[in-house]
Amino acid sequence: MMRAAFPLLLLALAACSDRSGTDGSESDFASRVGAGNATPGAGQPGAPVETKAAKGPPPANADVFALEKLGDISGVDLGPRAGGCTFSSAGTEMLVAAGPADRALPGKGVVRIGGKLIELDTPPGGLEAIEGGTTFTGEGFSVQIQPTGKGQAMMTIAQGEDRKAIVGDYVCA
């Protein structure tokens, strides 16, 4: 019985370790997560999908309350970081954030609105603030993360007096 199981174990291990076509790097992983699945800008079918985040306002006529799947974030620079967190709802990654080890420094986050990756800033607090919940600010809107339990959080998007709350997973590493 044991002899028959050993070849099957070897085959299973070989299948799990197959990395053909990948280089195993951070940017390789990011380019494969949601690659080709990001929603192009509203009203722009087939528009190129941005992979770099920029500071600035969301695209004109874009709904800040309709955060899109992050998709390919291989070009996003979240700066020096000790770790980070991802917020997702119904299996859709909507925010990725990172924080430095130094609590005197701010963290960064990124969301996709209207097909555009938008860089967000946090107040100082480092990685601890990112993990514990903080407010990310962009031009004309903000995104607050409030952990509600182990691996769970409420994300509140605000623009002026308008608010939208989304419950989801908040995983930090």
Write the DSSP assignment of 131-153 as a string of letters: HH--EEEETTEEEEEEEEETTEE
Q: Is the pLDDT of residue 19 over 60?
A: no
Per-residue model confidence (pLDDT) at position 26? 47
- Identify the band that residue 46 occupies on the pLDDT scale cut at 50, 70 and 90: low
Residue 1 lies in a domain: no
The predicted model scores a pTM of 0.72
Residue 15 lies in a domain: no
Residue 47 lies in a domain: yes
Domain holding 61, by residue range, is 23-172
Give the mean model confidence (pLDDT) for residues 90-106: 94
Residue 18 lies in a domain: no
Residue 158 lies in a domain: yes
Residue 2 lies in a domain: no
Residue 36 lies in a domain: yes
Q: Is the pLDDT of residue 123 over 80?
A: yes
Residue 6 lies in a domain: no
The number of distinct structural domains making up the chain is: 1
Per-residue model confidence (pLDDT) at position 154? 98
Q: Is the pLDDT of residue 153 over 50?
A: yes
Largest CA distance in the chain: 68
